[in-house]
Chains A and B, each alone.
Chain A
Amino acid sequence: MALPITHIHKEIESSTAAKDRTVSDALELLEKHKETLDHLLTTITAVDRAGILTMTSSSIEAREKIAIIALEQLTSPTITTAIQNVMNIVSVFSQLDEQQVKQGTLALQAGLEEGFTESKNAAPMNLFNVVSMLQDADVRRALTFSFGLLKGMGRTLQTSSSE
């Protein structure tokens, strides 16, 4: 006659046996990864001596508080605007044609050199000199470029103000 029973005697591992098993598992792991652990311990010791370990663990522990402080700073209007500006500038740069930028930079560099040379050597400019300069192909090319630049800027300014 086997009457229904519900009571279970659980084999609860004694705390000493549990500890022994944990230590034995850990020793097995140490044996397996001895070399790696040597390196790791050396590195960690150096990091600890430099005080970085304590700093890191404290930061991790206080991560939410730190994140809130950082966000408060980042979301202040001036910083947000600054980040936006940086992002916009980065965005503009990312869209420029690499060859054109290179050519433009070289042109600017040559222009600066020529400009400084001219301003040191030449006499003050009169109307005749200006007309004469306008005959120069290089000057005319630079002026065409400048007018194009102004036109593009003007168009964009117009679009932005109407939005």
Chain B
Amino acid sequence: MALNKVQNRLEITISGVQCHATENQTILETMLEQGVEHPHVCYHPSLGPIETCDTCMVMANGELVRACSTKVSQELQIDPIHSLAVAAQKEAMDRILENHMLYCTVCDNNNGNCTLHNSAHTMEIKGQSYPYRPKGYEKDLSNPFYRYDPNQCILCGRCVEACQDLQVNETLSIDWERSQPRVIWDHDAPIDESSCVSCGHCVTLCPTNALMEKSMLGEAGFLTGIGSNLLTPMIDLIKQVEPSYDGIFAVSEVESAMRSTTIQKTKTVCTFCGVGCSFDVWTKGRKIIKIEPDETAPANGVSTCVKGKFGWDFINSEERLTAPLIRRGDSFYEATWDEAYDLIAKKLSETKEQYGPDAIGLISSSKITNEENYLIQKLARAVIGTNNVDNCSRYCQSPATDGLLRTVGLAGDSGTIQDIAGAGMVLVVGANPAEAHPVIATRVKRAHKLRGQTLVVVDMRKHELAERADLFVRPKLGTDHVWISALTKYVIDQGWHDEAFIAKHINGFEEFYEALNSFTLEYAEEVSGIAKDELIKMAELIHKADGVAALFAMGVTQHCGGSDTSSAISNLLLVTGNYGRSNAGVFPLRGHNNVQGACDFGTLPTWLPGYQPVSDNAARERFEQAWHTPLSTVPGMDNQQMVDAIERGKLKAMYLVGEEMAFVDTNTNHVQGALEKLDFLVVQDLFLTKTAQFADVVLPASPSLEKEGTFTNTERRIQRLYQVLPPLGDSKPDWQIIMGVANRAGANWTYASPAEIMDEAAELAPIFAGVSYERLEGYKSLLWPVAKDGTDTPLLYTNGFGFEDHKARLAAPNWVPAVPMADEFDLIVNNGRLLEHFHEGNMTGKSSGLNKKVPSTFVEVSPTLAIEREIQDGAIVRLESAYGAIKVNVVVTDRVHGNELYLPMNSIHQESAINILTSNHTDQRTHTPAYKETYVRMTVLQSSGQNPLPRNNPRYGHRNPQNGVEVARKWAQPGYESVKETVERRQRDGAAHYTHSQRN
């Protein structure tokens, strides 16, 4: 068990006042912690010291030093207002203002949080010694989401540091060797043609207006929409006649205060993946003008991805549903809520009377809130009387849940994102975090680049993390269970297992080891195609690592043996003692924003909220008592079973919330055929999706930004979202709609807000006992289990595992081979997400910026296959499986190899959606579709054509890796004189005259 190193307390003085500091803290960190206001521009806590601006200079034990990078020491005497320190701070600010024109009142960044404005104001800057001069470069407006204005850029390098060492996309750098240095993208490409993934880190961290969201331009201020023909002379005049900046600052402060009355800033939680990024949404009326992450956000800090930062256009899309729709003949008719509720209540009641409650099924969403999921399962169980309720985790994460429940007893990540970042080794199996969980990927890339964290990737496809890995191996399809079990056996054979941990915490080790007998390295090599040497190397890396974090996702779970492979990963971590300690553990990366919460809050056919089995009499009785109604003891049907039951005429009515089942379920021709056969279908969604087109009643729901509630991210972290905008038209938050349906069916629910729903769930599910909205206020969060007193559990299993005897259970190895490829097919179609689009694209497809980057789906073909079939980028091919056929354009890339294709899932079109091809085969234990075991033959319809992945896509860029901002290159320029040297020379010579070198 790693212990936190005890930090020594040091005694120091700041301006003659004694105070305490912690060892390894810098002077600036100490001053800020002590509440001492001190100028600093380039320093940001998320980046650490980058030493480019010099505004934080202080005297420390009589020497002029940078406060941001100088560590405190015992009895250090710090004088931040010594005349030499103040002169240095002023000189530093003068050099900054030479690069940046202060026109704050008419600047879109004057919103009270402009670092430069605030620093200059704090320093009581009255004027500048060196006049402003433009650098002579044009603004770069090419990217659809943000712009760069070199003439306002102060060359602090925050953006570069963020891109190189925080996001680690390695696109931005400063070309220090130019006569006028500037930030460049790749090797000086326009932003839109570079490798920039538009994650927004640089924009968020820019301390000025040099990098700004385009949605802010001309929108944020009262005067910022003025044309340049008026604006420029106005700025010039103010500059000329104002003898001191006091007046300018005062006016801009007033204007900024006025802006705060028109710009609303509301915290929300992102809906685009399971990372659980939280940030403030800035709105002006219904316009979303900015997404502003906060460094206190527990999952992401200041990090975002392109979707979270810029992908919210769907909220105000004209395609949003704004009134309930009722099917009559071959049209939908807009209706009132009363008409819709009446019809639903009547039809559900008739179905229940005629066929019984189990003829009705409910499918919930992993995109809606915990409270809404709680209400849906309550509607199913307490009002309709069935356990036929499931959510879309059935399509993705159920095998992981099963694997963890079997081995360690709780269904969630065992630690937090900090544990991933802190691990000695990260093992990524069947997951593509750089696209599907981008902010988690940044933590891995940062730890790998800056700290030398070992990165091992096992995947069929060479994605970004694979490119960066210390070891990347490509197994054969569906063989993960074999090589993981062989690796586990080899580790034990070598004596590298954690005997003490096993003895104390695990049951059945001997039997397990015996069952591994046939999983030799030779067998693994033969089955998986991974060379024995590589497996040995992997085992050695695991053995040497101080903590192993295993990240896995759909590449593991969407197979016939997905559950067993999930258990095998857990087994490996158990025998190596990588549970119950920091910087290690298991991380099944949840795909949607609330996959974890949807399951936690009970939209599962066999579990009540908080993973209490419906067959558990004591638990069920507690719910019966609270809900004043008997509950069914019969486990319900899952998604797959419901579709089968429709086909068999057993399921007659369905209520489906927020899932595009007609495209995301497997073998969609089959699913769509089933939906047609339902007697009655209610679909609740934002848009008239393909699924909704089959409905009898369509209910217009509100997206996350239009409601309150909580989401639970992949870490088990529960976070609140606040209402940013009022619901559009007559749409309603899902919890209000579900309550409307329940009450029309006679339920008499009286929840006034989601907080009351959470209170009820906390009463009934022990793992949420201490969860309340008060404890989740603002950016606060809780990781379940949460004790009654509010104590949460960031790290699981420190006091034993989630079984009665607190001991883990090793799952017996059981390899379920992939469905064999029939002779008529010769290609494997791998499938998954793309960075730019969320899932099938119903939401992100409404964003012109995202569509500019990725306008449609495509199929990736390996260079060898392209040569063999004589096709090029843009070729049109027909892919035909045993279940359907589609037509797509080709991208030739070495991300895939051999006979493997990759078809991203961002399509809502019958002619290109991946699930036209996928099969009915499922994971044996959980019925999760084996999406990844899909085989096709390919017919070339056209051998070349327009590339479906446009040239302005970042995948074509050429990264420019650097060690952060590389400030030493700035200092090494001929003629450069440091701020320290300048002010000390002036003091020595007594010279008041200006000898600035122009190199700053």
Cβ–Cβ contact B233 & A75, under 8 A = yes
- CB atoms of A2 and B675 under 8 A apart: yes
Q: Are B678 and A2 in contact (CB under 8 A)?
A: yes
- B window 302-332: CB within 8 A of A: 323, 325, 327, 330-332
User: Which residues of A from 83 to 108 have beta carbons under 8 Å from B?
Assistant: 83-84, 87-88, 91
Of residues 122 through 161 on chain A, the ones whose CB sits less than 8 Å from some CB of chain B are none
* B672 within 8 Å of A (CB atoms): yes
Residue B694 lies at the interface, judged by CB distance under 8 Å to chain A? yes
Given contacts A64-B230, A87-B241, contact A5 B693 (CB under 8 A): yes
Whether B695 contacts A2 by the Cβ 8 Å rule is yes
Chain B: minimal CB distance from A64 (Å): 6
CB contacts (< 8 Å) of A40 on chain B: these are none
B518 interface contact, C-beta 8 A: no
Binary flags per residue of A1-22, CB closer than 8 Å to B gives 1, else 0: 1111111111100000000000
A41 at the interface (CB under 8 A from B): no
Task: Give the docked Cα–Cα distance between A88 and B243 (Å).
Answer: 7
Cα separation A8 to B334 with both chains bound (whole Å)? 7
Q: B73 to nearest A CB, angstroms?
A: 42
Q: Does A71 contact B (CB under 8 A)?
A: yes
Q: Which residues of B contact A71 (CB under 8 A)?
A: 230, 233-234, 237
B676 and A3 form a contact (CB under 8 A): yes
Name the residue on A nearest B227 (C-beta). A64
Question: Taking each of A1, A87, A162, which has the highest tally of chain B beta carbons within 10 Å of its own beta carbon?
Answer: A87
Contact residues in B for A72 (Cβ distance below 8 Å): 233
Instruction: Say how far A89's CB is from chain B's closest CB, in angstroms.
Output: 10
B681 sits at the interface (CB 8 A): yes
Cβ of A112 within 8 Å of any chain B Cβ, yes or no, is: no
Residues of A within 8 A of B233 (CB): 71-72, 75
Asked if B228 is at the interface of the complex by the 8 Å CB criterion, the answer is no
Q: Is the CB of B237 within 8 A of A80?
A: yes
Residues of B within 8 A of A2 (CB): 327, 675-676, 678, 681, 694-696
Does chain B have a CB within 8 A of A110? no
Interface string of B681-714 (1 = CB under 8 A from A): 1000000101001111000000000000000000
Q: A residues within 8 A CB of B750?
A: none
Task: Determine the chain A residues whose CB is within 8 A of the CB of B240 once the complex forms.
Answer: 80, 84
Q: Which residues of A contact B330 (CB under 8 A)?
A: 3, 5, 7
A159 and B330 CA atoms in complex are apart in Å by 89
> Which residues on A sit within 8 Å (CB–CB) of B672?
4
- Whether a CB of chain A sits under 8 angstroms from the CB of B774 is no
Chain B's interface size range is 35 or more
Look across to chain B and name the residue whose beta carbon is closest to the beta carbon of A92.
Answer: B243
Contact A5–B676 (Cβ < 8 Å):
no
Closest to A85 in B: B241
Complex Cα spacing A4 to B677, Å: 11
Q: Which of B830-852 contact A (CB under 8 A)?
A: none
Asked if A74 contacts B237 (CB within 8 A), the reply is yes
Tell whether A5 pairs with B327 under 8 Å between CB atoms, given A68-B229, A83-B241: yes
A88–B626 Cα distance when bound, in Å, is: 77
Cα-based distance from A72 to B696 in the complex (angstroms):
66
A84 and B696 in contact (CB under 8 A), knowing A5-B331, A71-B234?
A: no
- How far apart sit A83 and B241, CA to CA, in the bound complex (Å)? 6
Residues of B within 8 A of A74 (CB): 237
Please, how many angstroms separate the alpha-carbon atoms of A156 and B237 in the complex?
27
Selected from A9, A75, A80, A91, the residue in CB contact (under 8 A) with B331 is A9
CA gap between A109 and B185 in the complex, in Å:
69
A162 partner residues in chain B, CB cutoff 8 A: 993
Asked if A26 is an interface residue, CB under 8 A from chain B, the answer is no
B355 at the interface (CB under 8 A from A): no
A3: chain B residues within 8 A (beta carbon): 330, 676, 694
The 8 Å CB contact of B677, one of A1, A7, A9, is A1
Can you name the residue of chain A whose Cβ is closest to the Cβ of B229? A68
Closest chain A residue to B692, Cβ basis: A4
Given contacts A64-B230, A80-B240, A87-B241, contact A6 B677 (CB under 8 A): no
B16 to chain A, nearest CB (A): 29
CA distance A7 to B678 in the complex (A): 20
CB distance from B431 to the nearest CB of A (A): 34
Instruction: Provide the residues of chain B in CB contact with A7, threshold 8 Å.
Output: 330-332
Provide the residues of chain A in CB contact with B675, threshold 8 Å.
2
Output the nearest chain A residue to B322 by Cβ-Cβ distance: A10
Residues of B contacting A10 with CB < 8 Å? 323, 334
Chain A residues with CB under 8 A of B241: 80, 83-84, 87
Q: How far is the CB of B687 from chain A (nearest CB, A)?
A: 11
State which residues 217-260 of B face A: CB under 8 Å. 227, 229-230, 233-234, 236-237, 240-244
A5 to B695, CA, bound (A): 9
How far apart are A12's CB and chain B's nearest CB, in angstroms?
9
How far is B678's CA from A50's CA once the two chains are assembled, in angstroms?
73
Option from A1, A6, A9, A80 in Cβ contact (under 8 Å) with B676: A1
CB neighbours (8 Å) of B696 from chain A are: 2
**Cβ distance B484 to chain A, nearest Cβ, rounded Å:** 42
Alpha-carbon distance A137/B234, docked complex (angstroms): 55
Given A71-B237, A75-B237; A9-B333 close (CB under 8 Å): yes
- Give the residues in chain B near A9, CB-CB below 8 Å: 331-334
Is B688 a contact partner of A75 (Cβ separation < 8 A)? no
CB distance from A9 to the nearest CB of B (A): 5
CB-CB contacts below 8 Å: A1-57 with B:
1-11
Minimum CB distance partner of A64 in chain B: B230
Instruction: With A6-B688, A71-B233 as known contacts, state yes or no: A11 contacts B334, CB within 8 Å.
Output: yes
Residues of B within 8 A of A60 (CB): none
Residue of A nearest to B672 (CB): A4
CB pair A8 B331 closer than 8 Å = yes
Residues B557-578 near A (CB distance < 8 A): none
Taking CB atoms, residues of chain B closer than 8 Å to A91 are: 243-244
* CA of A8 to CA of B700, assembled, Å: 13
Contact residues of A between 59 and 88, Cβ < 8 Å to B:
64, 67-68, 71-72, 74-75, 80, 83-84, 87-88
Q: Which of B242, B244, B662, B693 contacts A6 (CB 8 A)?
A: B693
By beta carbon, the residue of chain B nearest A12 is B334
| Interface contact A87-B242, CB-CB below 8 Å | yes
List A contacts of B244 (CB < 8 A): 91
A64 to B688, CA, bound (A): 45
Distance of A123 Cα from B166 Cα, bound (Å): 89
User: What is the 8 Å Cβ interface bit string for chain B, positions 325-351, against chain A (1 contact, 0 not)?
Assistant: 101001111110000000000000000
Residue of B nearest to A89 (CB): B243
Expressed in whole angstroms, the minimum distance between the Cβ of B466 and any Cβ of chain A is 39
**Which of B230, B662, B688, B694 meets A8, CB within 8 Å?**
B688
B-side contacts of A83, CB under 8 Å: 241
**A68-B230, A71-B230, A87-B242 in contact; A4/B693 too (CB < 8 A)?**
yes
Q: Which of B332, B675, B695 has the most CB of A within 10 A?
A: B332
Distance of A5 Cα from B323 Cα, bound (Å): 16
Complex contacts, B332 vs chain A, CB 8 Å: 5, 7-9
Min CB distance A117 to B, Å, is 41
- In Å, the complex CA distance between A10 and B335 comes to 9
Known A1-B676, A2-B675, A2-B681; contact A8-B243, beta-carbon cutoff 8 A? no
A67 — nearest CB in chain B belongs to which residue?
Answer: B230
Assembled-state Cα–Cα distance A75/B335 (Å): 62
Residues in chain B near residue A6, CB distance under 8 A: 688, 693
Cross-chain contact A4 with B229 (CB below 8 angstroms): no
Binding site for A on B (CB under 8 A): 227, 229-230, 233-234, 236-237, 240-244, 323, 325, 327, 330-335, 662, 672, 675-678, 681, 688, 690, 693-696, 993
7 A-B pairs with least C-beta separation = A4-B693, A11-B334, A83-B241, A7-B331, A9-B333, A8-B332, A91-B243
- 13 A–B pairs (Cβ distance < 8 Å), ordered by A: A2-B675, A2-B678, A2-B694, A3-B330, A3-B694, A4-B693, A5-B330, A5-B331, A7-B331, A8-B332, A11-B323, A64-B230, A83-B241
List A residues at the B interface (Cβ < 8 Å): 1-11, 64, 67-68, 71-72, 74-75, 80, 83-84, 87-88, 91, 162
- Other than the given A7-B331, A84-B243, 4 more pairs (CB < 8 A) read A8-B333, A9-B331, A9-B334, A10-B334
